[in-house]
Amino acid sequence: MNRIVFLFFLAISTVSPDLWGQAAGTNPEEGRGSYKNRVFFNLEHYWDSSRVCNNPHKGWCFHYYDNGIGDYGNRMDTTDSLSDFPCLNDIYLRLAWSYLEPEEGVFNWNLIDSIINRWVLWGHTISFRITCKETEIVYATPEWVRKAGAKGKFIKHPDLEIEAWAPDYNDPVFLEKLENFHKAFAARYDGKPWVEYIDIGSIGEWGEGHTAYSGWDDIPVDVVKKHIDIFKRCYNHSILIISDDFIGQRNTDDGADYEIYHYCLKSGIGFRDDSANVEWYRTLGFGPSCIRTPELYSKVYKNIPVVLESDHYGAVVQSQLWSGGSGLEKAIRETHATIVGFHYYPREWLKDNKELAGRLANICGYWYFPKFALLPDTIRPGTGRNYIRLTWENHGVAPAYHKFKLFLKLINKSSGLAFVQELAESDNLAWQPGEIVAEQCVINPDNTVITGRYDILIGMRDGCEFHDGRIIELAINKTREIESGWYKLGEISVK
């Protein structure tokens, strides 16, 4: 692929009317110009940033299980696929280890399989965090682990009548049982095409890596590395994500936080931020986004997706932090988030935030705007000289992390017969936010493309196993989408 920012395109966008105006063959309605045997289509005429692009591998994440298994997802109508929720793609299952392995070697997979099977059938991906310490569950780590000899302690919740058991995260019995569980979990789920990511959630409150309800003790760096290594050994195919609280919530300023950070970078692990709209961070003075360590993501987001989690919506509204979601939007931009999660009953949340849901779904992750198209004014099959040069802008906050396929379609205006070709030189993985990127691709018409006038269209499709063939929607006005997922550039001659 030729990944170049072409100064030519920057020039022609402001070229004089005499060159691209009516005298040179411009059709203002189409944004079409012709000059020296080339035809040029200015697609900015048809940009539509109000259109919600429902695209895969980005957008909203619904916390189905979280803080136990009784709320949110379990209160939903099991026939409700949330098909009207803008760009809702990922279903997040955060639940305690004890739910899945109530006895050693005895696994309750049906608890999650019943949910996975339903949502995957509806086209959603699944992400996981399995925790070892919860604040409202006595045994997040199964009780049988303690009885097997693992050290730990009971911690009294400051506001509830509950004492939750916190394991010693370096205890050899605990680590052995933990790895055995993840070997079994990975054997069942690692690398499944519908798995979006897996959190490293085996340390701290809610799996976030801190001990806010367990004495605020720092977990030693070598212990954190042991847990990371367990996940690296068990999961060879799925994206691994870790909370930034493994780094930013440490009490001592001894460089340990950056040692963990760089160990994660070296290990190819991505980051998530669970602090958006958390009142405590606003109280500490971190501003409307509530993001404590936005600098962590600058070295991550270009290669690994960032996950952002907003606090429980009921608490956010009660604390008057919501403000129409403005803080969450700022958090998305600061972290370059691709997946944005919320804790609440999805129907109630959507009722309050339908417009916001669509707007924020667009900006998180990738958001593609085709800008210009340049090609010969006449396509001549068999000459080997047919090229199309397409210029793109990514108006999202991050690149895509999955390869998409770009196609060109020629439709004969008289017969309606169509020719479709993949533009193999195109590589959307290189389309970083804030850049103007151009690609030159070969057009190879076959003998079905006869002399005549043709509509020329482009379309993009996902190439991953789970979403293979799914349309990648472009931010182009519906009037130019003359077929589902196919966007008209204009008309061209074939001779």
Q: Is residue 139 part of a domain?
A: yes
Judged against a pLDDT cut of 80, whether residue 121 lies above it is answered with yes
Cβ neighbour number for residue 351 with a 10 Å cutoff? 9
Residue predicted with more confidence, 275 or 471? 471
Average pLDDT over residues 99-123: 97
SS3 355: helix
Average pLDDT over residues 100-110: 98
* Angstrom distance (rounded) from CA 137 to CA 143: 11
Domain CATH number, residue 226: 3.20.20.80
Return the minimum-mean-pLDDT range out of 79-93, 143-157, 344-358, 375-389: 375-389
Residues 175 and 146 in one domain: yes
Judged against a pLDDT cut of 50, whether residue 494 lies above it is answered with yes
pLDDT of residue 252: 82
**Sign of the Cα pseudo-torsion (9, 10, 13, 15, in order):** negative
Residues 296 and 381 in one domain: no
- Mean pLDDT taken over the chain: 92
pLDDT of residue 2: 43
Residue predicted with more confidence, 66 or 422? 422
Residues 148 and 259 in one domain: yes
Look up residue 395 and give its two tokens. Answer: 């108006």
Residue 390: which of 378, 375, 376, 409 has the closest Cα?
375
Domain CATH number, residue 384: 2.60.40
Edge-to-edge strands of the sheet including 452-462?
Answer: 378-379, 487-494, 452-462, 404-412, 418-422
Q: Is residue 1 part of a domain?
A: no
Cβ neighbour number for residue 11 with a 10 Å cutoff? 9
pLDDT of residue 254: 83
Average pLDDT over residues 128-143: 96
pLDDT of residue 365: 98
Judged against a pLDDT cut of 60, whether residue 19 lies above it is answered with no
* Angstrom distance (rounded) from CA 150 to CA 87: 43
Average pLDDT over residues 138-142: 97
Residues 76 and 181 in one domain: yes
Judged against a pLDDT cut of 50, whether residue 17 lies above it is answered with no
* Domain's final residue, options 363, 394, 409: 363
CB within 8 Å of 100: residues ≥ 6 apart: 107, 108, 109, 111, 112, 130, 181, 185
Segments of 214-256 assigned E as strands: 240-243
Average pLDDT over residues 315-344: 93
pLDDT in tens, 203-214: 999 999 999 999
Q: Is residue 202 part of a domain?
A: yes
Look up residue 291 and give its two tokens. Answer: 């993001």
Average pLDDT over residues 441-459: 95
pLDDT of residue 29: 55
pLDDT in tens, 343-364: 999 999 999 999 999 999 999 9
Residues 137 and 243 in one domain: yes
Judged against a pLDDT cut of 70, whether residue 28 lies above it is answered with no
Contact (Cβ atoms closer than 8 angstroms) between residue 474 and residue 368: yes
Judged against a pLDDT cut of 60, whether residue 492 lies above it is answered with yes
pLDDT of residue 434: 93
* Angstrom distance (rounded) from CA 106 to CA 187: 15
**Which pLDDT band holds residue 11 (cuts at 50, 70, 90)?**
very low
* Domain's final residue, options 363, 386, 408: 363
Q: Is residue 2 part of a domain?
A: no
pLDDT of residue 41: 96
Judged against a pLDDT cut of 50, whether residue 443 lies above it is answered with yes
Segments of 66-105 assigned E as strands: 88-96
Give the rounded percent of residues in the chain with a pLDDT score beyond 90.
81
SS3 183: helix
Average pLDDT over residues 456-479: 97
Judged against a pLDDT cut of 60, whether residue 248 lies above it is answered with yes
CA end-to-end span of the chain: 27
Average pLDDT over residues 114-138: 97
Residues 228 and 287 in one domain: yes
Average pLDDT over residues 436-452: 94
* Angstrom distance (rounded) from CA 286 to CA 318: 19
pLDDT of residue 27: 52
* Angstrom distance (rounded) from CA 406 to CA 399: 16
* DSSP code at position 478: G
* Angstrom distance (rounded) from CA 230 to CA 51: 43
pLDDT of residue 37: 86
pLDDT of residue 122: 97
pLDDT of residue 195: 98
Residues 141 and 277 in one domain: yes
Look up residue 436 and give its two tokens. Answer: 């103007």
Residues 359 and 381 in one domain: no
**Which pLDDT band holds residue 255 (cuts at 50, 70, 90)?**
confident
CB within 8 Å of 15: residues ≥ 6 apart: none
Residues 67 and 188 in one domain: yes
CB within 8 Å of 478: residues ≥ 6 apart: 48, 51
Number of domains in the chain: 2
Residues 312 and 358 in one domain: yes
Q: Is residue 175 part of a domain?
A: yes
Judged against a pLDDT cut of 70, whether residue 15 lies above it is answered with no
Contact (Cβ atoms closer than 8 angstroms) between residue 67 and residue 99: no
Give the helix ranges, DSSP H, for 255-386: 256-266, 279-284, 313-318, 326-335, 346-363
Contact (Cβ atoms closer than 8 angstroms) between residue 130 and residue 100: yes
pLDDT of residue 309: 95
Give the helix ranges, DSSP H, for 364-481: none
* Domain's final residue, options 295, 328, 363: 363
Q: Is residue 65 part of a domain?
A: yes
pLDDT in tens, 152-200: 999 988 888 899 999 999 999 999 999 999 999 999 999 999 999 999 9
Residues 322 and 194 in one domain: yes
Residue 487: which of 474, 257, 495, 347 has the closest Cα?
474
Residue 184: which of 97, 75, 287, 105 has the closest Cα?
105
Which residues span the domain enclosing 400?
7-51+372-494
* DSSP code at position 249: T
* Angstrom distance (rounded) from CA 210 to CA 213: 9
Residues 232 and 271 in one domain: yes
